[in-house]
Amino acid sequence: MVRGKQVNEYDVILLGSGAAGLLTATLLAKRGLSVLLLKERAFQPSCMREGYQFVPFSSLSEKCLPLSLLNRLARVVGFSFSGASGQEEGTIPVSEDPVKAEIAYQVVLPKSRVDLFRDRSLLEREWKREFPGELKRIERLHDDLGRLVQPLNITELSRGGSEGLFSRLWAFLRKSYFPEPHLDFSAHSREFEKFLQLQMTSWGGFSGDRFPLSLAGHLLKHDDSNRWVSDVDSESVKASLLDHYLETGGKVEEVEGVERVDRGWRKGFALSLQGTSRILRSRFLVLNAPLHRLPGFQGKRGKQLATRSSTVVPRYILVPIFMALRENVVPVGMRDLLVSLADLDKPYEAGNLLLIALSKKGDETAAPRGRRAMVVQSLIPARDWDEDIPVHHQNAVTKHLTELFPFLENYIEFTDWSWGEKNARCWSYPHYFYEATPDFHWRDGIVPRRISKNLYFTGRENFPYLGIEGEILSGLSAAQEILKKYS
């Protein structure tokens, strides 16, 4: 007891319930540590309405996962994910239409519509149809980028923030005197330039006009040996992780928020919760929510967090719109996952850029028979966001959608804008497009996992350009660092 208050003690407390935090919590609980995961009571990760299920997302990588990444995650955690049938622990066999599995998503531009194939020969067919005048330059570019692609190494990625003085000095010298060249668009048409940019920004949720060559190669890579899995998304991964975390003895508590965090020299962190007199104490604290939305920290630690948050900032907030559609409004050839840009010369806001996810045809777990659930992600500048979607923005999004779906107004069951307005007020709302300083070494990450002694951060800002892959790598490396201290 502390001054008449109840005190609950744990080895580790995690604030927020994103994919990275759930992975960290699961791995720590599996090793026998006492772990408490704090979830925001007000935030809902999905919406059920009138037989439709809508799941917002931050990037296309959350809706279509590489099979190699899922298998790697399954082996690390030691179980198979719900949503995919597995015969063997640690692997995820996929039973879906192989032709559909070859297509990750579709990019729609004012003059072109391109299916993104994993198979290089099929992708070249798309280039030849949509960009015939620059086919040779496009092939040369992808050959050059392919030579730059190297597998992501968890050990290498886990260095950020916890390396020694020499490593930090070398990282500084490397960035200052050996800057990596950026992808040059000058040899290509404006349409193809935007085609490349949309692939990179929509896959990782990272807004920018300049991409280091090796990062561009990683985001645009085409590996015939790998496959995308569209029947397992980030929400089903999180659901499986949460179930396994609870089975291993981890605890979950829903809270309004954290009012104050104090740090003692010997006893670690003390968290005061909103609306209760209880004190939660832990040796380690892991933050797993957008860095700019985290509760205020006191003294020196607060300055450290403020400094880190200034290196990568949310440029746009992704606002979800839910639409219940009749199946026959979906045009022939339109894919279930697409990104659309209406005007090449306008910024991304005001409905000009849309990320769209349609439920699968015939999937009655997501929509009634003959219907489709559609989630539309549009962008509003984060600095202008006042928690109410402006009418002009709604009109712009509707106009853009009508161009994609002719006669759309005749086939809509309902449209829901209210979920986004309500949930975006929550401190754990994760759907943002980030922007960082253009000169960074992307394999080092932007915000390190270890902020200070025993204080870790596993949010999307670690590797905002890698999407769900970056979150998984971040959560895994944070768990590894904490377990080293217990070993």
Q: Indicate the pLDDT class of residue 275, thresholds 50, 70 and 90.
A: confident
Q: What is the pLDDT of residue 386?
A: 81
- Angle value at C-alpha 343, between 142 and 470, nearest 5 degrees: 50
Q: Helix, strand or coil for residue 457?
A: strand
Return the higher-pLDDT residue of 459 and 12: 12
Q: What is the pLDDT of residue 92?
A: 47
Q: What is the pLDDT of residue 160?
A: 43
Does the structure show a pLDDT above 80 at 176? no
Does the structure show a pLDDT above 80 at 265? no
Q: Averaged over 39-54, what is the pLDDT?
A: 95
In residues, how long is the chain?
Answer: 487
Q: How far apart are CA 233 and CA 60, in angstroms?
A: 10
- The distance of Cα 104 from the centroid of its chain, to the nearest Å, equals 16
Q: How far apart are CA 120 and CA 130, in angstroms?
A: 15
**CATH code 3.50.50.60 region(s) in the chain:** 7-46+232-311+438-486
Q: What is the pLDDT of residue 159?
A: 46
Give 153's DSSP letter. -
Minimum mean pLDDT range among 33-47, 99-113, 406-420:
99-113
Q: How far apart are CA 412 and CA 401, in angstroms?
A: 12
pLDDT digits (tens, 9 = 90+) for 317-356: 999 999 999 999 999 999 999 999 999 999 898 899 999 9
Q: Indicate the pLDDT class of residue 3, thresholds 50, 70 and 90.
A: low
Return the CATH fold of 61-150+179-230+313-423.
Polyamine Oxidase; Chain A, domain 2 (3.90.660)
pLDDT digits (tens, 9 = 90+) for 350-381: 899 999 999 999 999 999 999 999 999 999 99
Return the higher-pLDDT residue of 341 and 163: 341
| % the chain with pLDDT above 70 | 82
According to DSSP, the residues that pair with 372 across neighbouring strands are 325
Q: Averaged over 148-170, what is the pLDDT?
A: 49
Q: What is the pLDDT of residue 276?
A: 86
Does the structure show a pLDDT above 50 at 121? yes
Contact 457, 285 (CB under 8 A): no
pLDDT digits (tens, 9 = 90+) for 192-246: 999 999 999 998 888 877 888 888 888 887 555 567 776 778 898 999 999 999 9
Q: Indicate the pLDDT class of residue 439, thresholds 50, 70 and 90.
A: low
pLDDT digits (tens, 9 = 90+) for 462-474: 888 888 989 998 9
**CATH code 3.90.660 region(s) in the chain:** 61-150+179-230+313-423
Does the structure show a pLDDT above 70 at 59? yes
pLDDT digits (tens, 9 = 90+) for 6-36: 778 999 999 999 999 999 999 999 999 999 9
Q: What is the DSSP string of 223-259?
A: -TT--EESSS-HHHHHHHHHHHHHHTT-EEEEES-EE
Does the structure show a pLDDT above 50 at 165? no
Does the structure show a pLDDT above 70 at 108? yes
Q: Averaged over 440-460, what is the pLDDT?
A: 85
Q: What is the pLDDT of residue 95?
A: 47
Does the structure show a pLDDT above 80 at 191? yes
Q: Exposed/middle/buried for 387, CB within 10 Å: 0-12, 13-18, 19+?
A: exposed
Does the structure show a pLDDT above 60 at 156? no
- Angle value at C-alpha 92, between 87 and 95, nearest 5 degrees: 85
What is the overall mean pLDDT for the chain?
Answer: 84
Q: How far apart are CA 339 and CA 345, in angstroms?
A: 16
Return the higher-pLDDT residue of 359 and 176: 359
Query: Which CATH code, of 2.60.120.10, 3.60.150.10, 3.90.1150.10, 3.50.50.60, is assigned to 7-46+232-311+438-486?
Result: 3.50.50.60
